Amino acid sequence: MEAVREAMQWLAVKLEGLLAATEPQDQARLAALSVVALAGAVLLTNAVLSVLRFARRELMLRPIASAPGGNPLLGHALVLLNAPKRGKGAWDVIEEWAAVKGNVCRFRILGTHSVVIADPGALKRVFQTKFKSYSKDLRLSYHPFLPILGTGLVTADGDLWQKQRLLMAPALRVDILDDIIPIAKRAVDRLSEKLRGFKGTGREVHLEEEFRLLTLQVIGEAILSLPPEECDRVFPQLYLPVMEEANRRVLLPHRKYLPTPDWFRFRSNITALNAYLVGLIRERWQARLAGQRPARDILDRILAALEASGTKWDAAIETQLCYEIKTFLLAGHETSAAMLMWSVFELSQNEAARRQVVEDAERAFGKANATPSRRAADEMAYTLSVLKEALRKYSVVPVVTRELLEDDTLAGYRIPAGTMITCQLQGVHNQWRDPTVFRPERFMPGGEYDEFDESIRPYMFLPFIQGPRNCLGQHLALLEVRGGG
C-alpha cells in the first residue's frame, strides 16, 4: 500500500511539473487532447463490448432455427421492409417464418437479435412467470411512439409503471364501466343517424373511418367528457396525424432525423395537442380545488385518486397525465374500431350468427331501443363470443415485443440478455382448429376454448395479452361495443 501511495505521489508531482512547465495554450491543447483521448477510449470500449455481446448472442441463439432470407450485414431488415410490396404486413412475414420454422425461430435486424415465439408455455413465462425480466421493447417497436406517449402506461417500465398502473387501474377497470354503456349508446345512435343520411344517395361509406371516429368519441367522452363535435374537431386534426407519422417511423426510422415538412408538422401537432390536453387537465384540477361538481369521467377519477393520496400538484404531474391521456387515446380507439369492423364484416357474411346477435340485442335493448343495464349487456353471451372470435381470427394486435434483461430459458432454448422477444399472438390464434373459419361458438360454454388444457388456456387467446401488463381497457372495450348495440 505504501509503495502504491508513493507511486501516486510521484505521478502527481510529475504531472504538476509537466503542466507548470508548459505554456497556457499548450495546457489548453493538452486538456483538449485528454478529452478526445478519453472519448475515444469510451467509444472504443463500447464498440468492443457491443461486438462481444453480439457474438455471444449469435453463438447462444445458434440452436434456434433462423428465419429464411436474411443477409450477413442487414439481417432480415430488407425482407421485413419489402413485406408491403408483397401485399403483406411485417407481422404476416414473421408468421410465415414461424409456420415454416416452428413456434420458436429467430431473425435479426442489423445488430439486434429477435426470437419469435408462438408457444403458449413460453408466452406464459414472458407475460406472467418472469415478466420483470422481459421489459417493454422501447429501443425498437415502441421507440417511434415515445415522443407522443413518453412515460405513459404502455411505454413505462419499472417503479413508475407500477405506481401509475395502481393509480389508474380502478378508474378503467371498475369505476367507468357502468357509465360506458350510455356513452357508447349515444355515440352509436349518432352514427346510425349519420348512416341513415347515406341511404339511397349512392355515396360510399368508409365504415372503418366511421368506426374510428365512433370509438374516438366514446373514449373522448369517457376520459375527458368531451362533446362529440370537439372529438371530431381535435382528434382528426391533431392526434390522428401524429399517430400516422409515428406508425410510418416503425419501419422507416430515418424519418425521425430528416427535417422534412412532415417532420415539422409532427413536432407542431404534438406541441399543439400537448397544450390542449394540459389546458384541460389544469382546468379540471382547479375546478376540483374550487369545489365544483366532479365530471365522473376517467380523468376526474384519476384526479380524485391523486387528491386522496395527498400528491402535490406540479408541472411534472400535468405532463405525466398528458402522456396517460394520449396513451388511452392510442390504446383505446383503433383497436376497438378494428374489433368492431371485423365483427360487422363477419356478421354481414354469416346469417345464422347475425340472427343470434339480433336476438341478444332485442333481449338487452327491448323493443324501445332503451339503454341496456350493465347486467343486460353482460348477458349478451353470443355477441361477446362474436367479438372474441373477431379478435382471434383477425388478431387486431398481431405481436407485442419485449427485451430480455437477463439470460433465460424459453421453450427449452437458452436466450441471452439483450435479445428482443417477438411474442406472436397471431401465431397462437392460428393454432386453433380451422383457424381461418369464423366460429363464435368456440367461445361459448363447452366450446373449443374450454377444451384447452387449463395450464395454457389463457395463453391460447391473447388479444389483450395476460399477466400484470395485460390490457387495462379490455373490459371497457368489450362492453362499449355490446352496450352501444
Q: Which of residues 418-457 bind ligand HEM (CB under 6 A)?
A: none
Q: Tell the residue number behind the cell numbers 411485417, with chain if given.
A: 90
* CA 457 – CA 446 distance, rounded (Å): 13
Choose which of 98, 153, 184, 386 interacts with ligand HEM (CB under 6 A): 153
- Using CB under 6 A as the binding rule, whether residue 477 contacts ligand HEM is answered as yes
- Asked if 167 and 307 count as a contact pair (C-beta separation under 8 A), the reply is no
From the list 7-15, 81-89, 343-351, 469-477, the region that binds ligand HEM by CB under 6 A is: 469-477
- Asked if 132 and 157 count as a contact pair (C-beta separation under 8 A), the reply is no
Rounded to whole angstroms, what are the CA distances from 392 to 203, 431, 438? Answer: 32, 10, 9
Beta bridge partners of 278: none
- Using CB under 6 A as the binding rule, whether residue 332 contacts ligand HEM is answered as yes
- Using CB under 6 A as the binding rule, whether residue 394 contacts ligand HEM is answered as no
Q: Tell the residue number behind the cell numbers 425521425, with chain if given.
A: 256
Between 177 and 216, how does the x/- string for binding to ligand HEM read (CB under 6 A)? Answer: ----------------------------------------
From the list 29-37, 143-151, 280-288, 393-401, the region that binds ligand HEM by CB under 6 A is: 393-401
Buried b (16+ CB within 10 A) or exposed e, 103-135: bbbbbbbeebbbbbbbbbebbbbbbbebbebbe
- The cell numbers describing 372, all together, are 341496456
Binding-site size, ligand HEM (CB under 6 A) = 25
- Using CB under 6 A as the binding rule, whether residue 93 contacts ligand HEM is answered as no
- Using CB under 6 A as the binding rule, whether residue 118 contacts ligand HEM is answered as no
Type of residue numbered 158 = G
Nearest approach, Cβ of 475 to ligand HEM (angstroms)? Answer: 9
- Asked if 468 and 357 count as a contact pair (C-beta separation under 8 A), the reply is no
Count CB-CB contacts under 10 A for residue 280: 18
- Using CB under 6 A as the binding rule, whether residue 396 contacts ligand HEM is answered as yes
* CA 120 – CA 37 distance, rounded (Å): 51
Type of residue numbered 92 = D
Residue number, 79 or 458, with CB nearest to ligand HEM: 458
From the list 27-35, 193-201, 439-447, 472-480, the region that binds ligand HEM by CB under 6 A is: 472-480
- Using CB under 6 A as the binding rule, whether residue 326 contacts ligand HEM is answered as no
Number of alpha carbons in the 13 Å side-chain half-sphere of residue 65: 14
Residue number, 154 or 460, with CB nearest to ligand HEM: 154
Output the CA torsion 378→219→127→403 (10° steps). 170
- Using CB under 6 A as the binding rule, whether residue 393 contacts ligand HEM is answered as no
Q: Identify each DSSP E strand in 317-367 by its residue range.
A: none
Choose which of 400, 404, 410, 460 interacts with ligand HEM (CB under 6 A): 400
- Using CB under 6 A as the binding rule, whether residue 143 contacts ligand HEM is answered as no
Residue number, 221 or 360, with CB nearest to ligand HEM: 221
- Using CB under 6 A as the binding rule, whether residue 149 contacts ligand HEM is answered as no
Choose which of 94, 104, 216, 219 interacts with ligand HEM (CB under 6 A): 219
Q: Is 102 left (phi over 0), alpha (psi -120 to 50) or beta?
A: left
Query: Is there a binding annotation on residue 231?
Result: no
Which of 483, 384, 365 has the alpha carbon at shortest distance from 443?
Answer: 384
Residue number, 164 or 356, with CB nearest to ligand HEM: 164
From the list 13-21, 77-85, 254-262, 471-479, the region that binds ligand HEM by CB under 6 A is: 471-479
- Using CB under 6 A as the binding rule, whether residue 465 contacts ligand HEM is answered as yes
- Using CB under 6 A as the binding rule, whether residue 464 contacts ligand HEM is answered as yes
* CA 139 – CA 74 distance, rounded (Å): 17
Nearest approach, Cβ of 258 to ligand HEM (angstroms)? Answer: 27
Count CB-CB contacts under 10 A for residue 143: 16
Nearest approach, Cβ of 90 to ligand HEM (angstroms)? Answer: 16
Choose which of 326, 429, 469, 482 interacts with ligand HEM (CB under 6 A): 469
SS3 for 183? helix
Rg (CA), the chain: 27
Binding residues for heme: 471
Q: Which residues bind ligand HEM (CB under 6 A)?
A: 153-154, 165, 172, 219, 327-328, 331-332, 335-336, 339, 391, 396-397, 400, 463-465, 469, 471-473, 476-477
